[in-house]
Amino acid sequence: MELHNAITDVPGIRVGHAQNLDALTGCTVVLCESGAVGGVDQRGGAPGTRETDALRPMHLVDQVHGVLLTGGSAFGLDAASGVMRYLEERGVGFNTGVAKVPIVPAAVLFDLAIGRADIRPDAAMGYEACQNASNAVPAQGNVGAGTGATVGKVLGPKQAMKSGIGTASMDIGGGIIVGAIVAVNAFGDVVDPENQHIIAGARSVSSGPIKIGATESFADTLQTMKTLVGRVVLDFAGRQNTVIGVVATNARLSKEEVNKVAQMAHNGLALSLRPAHTMMDGDTIFALATGQRKADVNIVGAFAAQVTAQAIIQAVKAAQPAGGLPAASA
């Protein structure tokens, strides 16, 4: 099977985006209408989520039908209603006997500061994202949940860089495919796991005698956090961050195993973000297993981390300048 380095390489997975480019916000839906075993792992200190408890082991629901990644902060959770309506119209959902209730977990990122704070993803945008869903390679960069994403905010939003949404996939042998799609709105810098060089992040500041930055281009968030200036500005850096994503595989996994894959996928954040999982991030990764192939959860989880890291790199490389912020591509 020829892969296209996208989460849609996983059979049964479709992805759709919808966005408002003037307001710099949007949402992305990952659909699995036939049902997939779902899990989640939330690591950041400032999450905004929906239906995540249903994915925990020991809870009744075993399968989900879609996952929503959205901008708009907590307001953006409204977009999940549009995803539910789309699926209900097609007879997709958990059968309660009186109605089929689509199970659509969701996570948000904060993009209110870059565009218009009064325009957020809503039910209509969520429905539109479903209408746009396909198994083609998803657009990357300034689309969907990545429309208003930024990275590197230790020195405030004006010194950040534009980020976006990215995807990646890998054939790990035995017919098993693992893919990821990630919207990257991190407090920290994005680094290349191969050489540890910063690709996008907080930009250096030079104003008279005040100079903050490890290089002419980048401040280096970790180095800045060591300094007195860094400790002072940290209080003003804001809670405007979160990396949210979905890992999917065609492996046959239990609910407990899928949650383990979501947990291990967070290693991809540690590989490509410096720092990750701060109290100013709401980092949340969902995992979906469509169940076509027998697989070892340890192997699937190990490569889930790899494709997550690759998707993060793709997100910043595909991003374009917007909202007055530069991007790695320019």
Question: Domains along the chain?
Answer: 7-318 (3.60.70.12)
- pLDDT of 237 reads 60
- pLDDT of 206 reads 72
Q: Is the pLDDT of residue 252 over 90?
A: yes
Question: Residue 94 burial (CB < 10 Å; 0-12/13-18/19+)?
Answer: middle
Q: Per residue, what are the HEC states of 209-237?
A: CEEECCCCCECCHHHHHHCHHHHHHHCCC
Window from 146-150, 232-236, 268-272, 289-293 with minimum mean pLDDT: 232-236
Cβ neighbors of 76 (< 8 A, separation 6 or more) are: 25, 27, 48, 70, 108, 120, 121
Average pLDDT score, the chain: 93
Short-list 8, 61, 7, CA closest to 247: 7
Cis peptide before 275 (omega within 30 of 0): yes
Asked if 185 and 278 count as a contact pair (C-beta separation under 8 A), the reply is no
Mean pLDDT, residues 181-186: 98
- pLDDT of 215 reads 61
- pLDDT of 300 reads 98
Dump pLDDT digits (tens) for 131-162: 999 999 999 999 999 999 999 998 888 899 99
Q: Per residue, what are the HEC states of 178-204?
A: EEEEEEEECCCEEECCCCCCEEECCEC
- pLDDT of 207 reads 64
- pLDDT of 230 reads 67
Task: Determine what percent of the chain is predicted with pLDDT higher than 70.
Answer: 94
Confidence band for 164, pLDDT divided at 50, 70 and 90: very high
- Location of structure tokens 């297993």: 289
